[in-house]
Structure 1
């Protein structure tokens, strides 16, 4: 009997490391925007003895959120907007870290007669279009941070996006440049590096950074599901730790930031350099601002329900606290 038990014990022992590896595996998804691209460096900056981290790029934040909800990935880089939208629909999402903010630009067509930051001039042009019976067409990728930045900035300036202008949804930000070149829109709020690309190729001109609204410069948020937290808490912690480490690298080495944007997006160095100037590494989760964003989204009828309580309830600071040694009161709470 012993001759059969011994091989079985050896086989069982051999399987244990494999089970541990599967338990500690994390699939991280990110969008291919400038501030998202540093996440491509997280696997090489994670402790391989604690997590087997895999990072995959997607075209848009909506694609990343869909992958998380379908359980194709375990951790997702989305936006504060995606977070509120997911909670509005009753999905299981938990915020575990910030990442990088900024990256939004409002651009206007070259023929639109307005100067930089001239909101009064823009409102006059919109009124002129209205008087002529022509739609003043504004675009963004519905569901991303730039969309809410634009809507919030317009609302603050007294521009009604439902009555004063015609909204055009262009899902993939890489298509924004062609929409402007073809004259399909008069104004667009785009994400870097595509916004900087538009300016570099002179498909449009800069109007403003749309940060004067409740969301401010807040853009990216790292989220997961409650089942991932329950089954792989240490792997989630190490994933957050790797994000913080990469953020520190981006802060200290702008050249690495630029090279990473260039490598992941395939855009040239001038565009990557311009994009990096509009980005702000920040791993904190800004609770009060997240609530304000959710309130603004409801006011703008972007979501149907009051999710402010859910926004607060579904922020889990434990992983940031463990990775930084700081209390949540110093991490955006």
Structure 2
């Protein structure tokens, strides 16, 4: 048979077998659908690290490319332009502001439900409770979890956020710390992973916001709504892998493994990694926590962070993909206590 004849024969066989032939060829070549996930390099994506190490992504037949972006504005821009498919460590308040401003984003899962966002001051600054904030300057990054949660706490305590306290908006966590260290502001609040730097700078933590607003909703996983609608099975596979990773994290020795993987992936010293990975003020959760997100949305509306009352937040909250991933794991592991507990949590925080 000539080379031309062999090529024609292969084409005919391919046409006869249809799409299945092409899929088999792709599998044989090792091709996998890819998901680009953006995260901050200061905290990483521990579910990803563990899912990759354990082979869960391979089990699902997907490839995940991590893209590290340390600025929320840049991350939202990357998502809206299609440079990344998913973002995961940029809080809840920031994404909600984007949605309120017309971005077609939807939340489908979680990463942290609380995220170790300390409020701090110089050692000589008096702090006897939240009334100590009255009349003071607080350095903050606008739109981040520390900003939204602290403002929500003060608003609920009866503070007029425009009169009773002055928020000084700064672009970087490092500059927030410098504003307090230099005396420009009495207090500051920063994102996950900065506790060691606060201590090394001679300052002290005066408040962990989760103590006053438990499960306030920190980092959520979100995508463009249209992309999500076109790729539900792909996201289901991602969440299946991450749920299995979360189960391993909670097993004996699981967090030690996470620490080692995070040290390797982010090139960080052990002490720094343990300071946030094992912080009692940080809880990793894949669950979407829809009800908690809605609570934050309403609270942001109450202190005029979200002014447009016409956007329906329910249109931007997708719990079906997570539930499908969880149901499939329960079918696969019907006696697994971890997945049973996750179903109880889903029913509590999403229905």
Map 1:1-333 → 2, pairs under 5 A: 5-6=8-9, 8=11, 17-18=25-26, 24-34=33-43, 36-44=45-53, 45-47=56-58, 50-77=61-88, 78-102=90-114, 103-115=116-128, 118-120=129-131, 122-123=132-133, 126-127=134-135, 136-194=136-194, 196-211=195-210, 216-252=215-251, 253-264=254-265, 266-275=267-276, 276-277=278-279, 278-306=281-309, 310-325=312-327, 326=343, 329=347, 332-333=350-351
Contact 2:32 2:61 in 1 (8 A): no
Specify whether residues 119 and 232 from structure 1 end up closer, same or farther in structure 2 by C-alpha distance, changes over 3 A only: closer
Specify whether residues 247 and 86 from structure 1 end up closer, same or farther in structure 2 by C-alpha distance, changes over 3 A only: same
User: Structure 1: how far apart are the matches of 2:101 and 2:30?
Assistant: 33
User: Cα deviation per residue 1:54-81 (whole Å; 9 max; x = unaligned)?
Assistant: 1222113333222111100111113221
Contact 1:137 1:185 in 2 (8 A): yes
TM-score (norm: length of structure 2): 0.78
Segments of structure 2 that go 5 or more residues without pairing to the other structure are 16-20, 328-342
User: Structure 1: how far apart are the matches of 2:262 and 2:154?
Assistant: 29
Segments of structure 1 that go 5 or more residues without pairing to the other structure are 128-135
Aligned-residue offset at 1:188: 0.9
For the aligned residue pairs, the C-alpha RMSD in angstroms reads 3.1
Specify whether residues 54 and 145 from structure 1 end up closer, same or farther in structure 2 by C-alpha distance, changes over 3 A only: same
User: Cα deviation per residue 1:176-198 (whole Å; 9 max; x = unaligned)?
Assistant: 3333333332211112211x123
Aligned-residue offset at 1:15: 8.8
Aligned-residue offset at 1:26: 1.0
Aligned-residue offset at 1:267: 4.5
Contact 1:23 1:232 in 2 (8 A): no
TM-score (norm: length of structure 1): 0.82
Specify whether residues 150 and 36 from structure 1 end up closer, same or farther in structure 2 by C-alpha distance, changes over 3 A only: farther
How many corresponding residue pairs? 318
User: Structure 2: how far apart are the matches of 1:168 and 1:14?
Assistant: 57
